[in-house]
Amino acid sequence: MKNFSVKKYQESDYETWNVFVGQAKNATFLFHRDFMEYHKDRFEDYSLMVFDNEKLIAILPANKVGNELFSHQGLTYGGLVYNDRSKLATIITTFRAVLLFLKDIKIEKLHLKTIPSIYHNKPAEEIQYALFLAEAKLVRRDSLSVIDLSQKYDFSKSRNRGIQKGKACGLVIKEETDFESFWNEVLIPNLDERHSAKPVHSIAEMNLLKSLFPKNIRQFNVYYNDKIVAGTTVFESEIVAHCQYISKYEKEDNLGSLDFLYHFLITKAFANKRFFDFGISNEAQGKKLNDGLSYWKESFGASTIIHDFYEVETTNYVKLNSFLTKSKNILTK
């Protein structure tokens, strides 16, 4: 078994890290250091890099809390990132090296959230098998509502009625370059009124991220008589359009604004993507389902993809010491 070396990410690794992200088979722009570090004041970054001699073979975006390490808590998804040349046995050995490294620096537990399969440029579930071998504990499971745009999908009658209502009301969709009107006039009032909550991102943070990733972060607003009534913020990766924020603030009016907007996004703006990801409809760490929200997404033709979260004791590296079996490797016709 190879003994890979593991080190903590340093600022001097910025270019090496980002080049690797650009070549990995299970990475998106969220793992670029510019995205990860916009909120670096909130987290103690403890991202890891794994080397085979001097060759970088994997990274783990992460932050440290006490004596535990987390797949970076400022990211929607995370986990071990690697390229398409890495074999299953290599990934298992890599994961063992990570656990051993963490144990040696007195980290007792690793909290690892996976990367949903739709964000893989190629199949990349090697880490799930490594987690199984390490007897990791599944602690959370979210359900993503996703449309596979390469397959036939249908809008329900109620969604089509909403789309027609939007057309009849003369709604107008505009792609904007700033977030002020959506945040201040729709998202913040709606979250406060319905959930006594605030958006995870501030306007300043969104404007910064937009400036750093102008092709990946896009804002679409819906207007009625020149007044904003709805909008959505989309994070666009290579094969997925993901809805980061969805909100309307129509007050007493029933304009069909979100139906009208999402018909446009799905059939026109992002019709060339492989997947359209509405995001989760879960609460309470995946234990509860917002049925109304889930139904609305499914009525566009979406179905379910799972996003898993695990915990594993770092001492469990020993369970990966002997995972290979000898084989005669005989191929038969």
Model confidence pLDDT, tens digit, residues 195-246: 888 999 999 999 999 999 999 999 999 999 999 999 999 999 999 999 999 9
The token pair at 217 is 């972060």
95 and 178 together in one domain: no
69 and 189 together in one domain: no
75 and 179 together in one domain: no
Burial of 182: CB neighbours in 10 Å, binned 0-12, 13-18, 19+: buried
16 and 33 together in one domain: yes
CA 45-40-34 angle, 5° bins: 95
190 and 263 together in one domain: yes
**For the chain, how are helix, strand and coil distributed in percent, rounded to 5?**
35, 30, 35
CATH number reported for the structural domain that contains residue 193 in this entry: 3.40.630.30
Q: Is the pTM of this model over 0.85?
A: yes
Point out which residues pair with 5 in neighbouring strands. 51
10 and 132 together in one domain: yes
Q: Residues of the chain with pLDDT > 70: what percent?
A: 97
Q: Bigger pLDDT: 41 or 118?
A: 118
Tell me what pLDDT residue 323 has: 85
Instruction: Round to whole Å and give the CA distance between 177 and 164.
Output: 27
Q: Bigger pLDDT: 33 or 84?
A: 33
234 and 258 together in one domain: yes
pLDDT in tens, 12-25: 999 999 999 999 99
Place of tokens 């932050």: 63
Q: Residues of the chain with pLDDT > 90: what percent?
A: 90
Residue 23 inside a domain? The answer is yes
86 and 186 together in one domain: no
Residues with Cβ < 8 Å from 313, sequence gap 6 or more? 108, 109
Place of tokens 């695990």: 310
Residue ranges of alpha helices (H) inside 59-202 are 88-104, 126-133, 157-168, 180-182, 188-195
Tell me what pLDDT residue 330 has: 45
Instruction: Round to whole Å and give the CA distance between 99 and 6.
Output: 10
Residue 62 inside a domain? The answer is yes
Considering its fold, how many domains does the chain have in total?
Answer: 2
137 and 158 together in one domain: no
At residue 163 the predicted structure's pLDDT band, cuts being 50, 70 and 90, is very high
Residue 220 inside a domain? The answer is yes
Tell me what pLDDT residue 252 has: 60
At residue 276 the predicted structure's pLDDT band, cuts being 50, 70 and 90, is very high
Range of the domain at 246: 151-273
Flag whether pLDDT at 254 surpasses 90: no
Tell me what pLDDT residue 331 has: 46
Mean pLDDT on 262-275: 98
Residue 53 inside a domain? The answer is yes
Mean pLDDT on 99-108: 98
Flag whether pLDDT at 75 surpasses 50: yes
Burial of 325: CB neighbours in 10 Å, binned 0-12, 13-18, 19+: exposed
18 and 135 together in one domain: yes
80, 79, 77: which is closest to 30 by C-alpha? 77
At residue 3 the predicted structure's pLDDT band, cuts being 50, 70 and 90, is confident
**Longest alpha-carbon distance in the chain:** 73
Residue 132 inside a domain? The answer is yes
Look over the chain and give the mean of its residue pLDDT values, rounded to a whole number. Answer: 94
